[in-house]
Structure 1
């Protein structure tokens, strides 16, 4: 059974497929590199398997390093919030890198 997390809710709310999320992810990496004071992450590869694991929830450990930086930049939430239970009434973060809806 899938755990309902803020990450999953946000992705579904924005109707992002794995392919669409990958494009948003790449833009978020570029944004971080261009943001003064933000960590330079370069290209952080994101496999479809990682995306699917994140969608399923129930992670044993939180994403670390550059993955964590990109996720937190993209959604404006900590990794703990993203992969924690859905927060009722929350605006579910703010996608930053272009935010396509499909």
Structure 2
């Protein structure tokens, strides 16, 4: 019986703990929460625009209210109706547009 308990404990530690640590819950939102400023824009029109991400999942793109979700390293920003406005990836402490995007933007935390 002790051997069985030990095997179960090892399985929990090896598989369950990393799985729970990688969940995109409130902790992940807190990692990106804050004010971000656009530093690069391939179109040249958004430089200086602020993106505010709050710990509760609400956001603002300048004066426009929005919401956001974190899934892995991707931050999806939607309007209040749920339509996606922007998808960014967290890389090296910056929020950047995905490689597949035709518009390259880079936000840095203020």
Q: Which has the higher helix share?
A: 1
TM-score, normalised to structure 2, is: 0.29
Greater relative CO (CA pairs within 8 A, separation 6+): 1
Q: Which has the higher strand share?
A: 2
TM-score, normalised to structure 1, is: 0.31
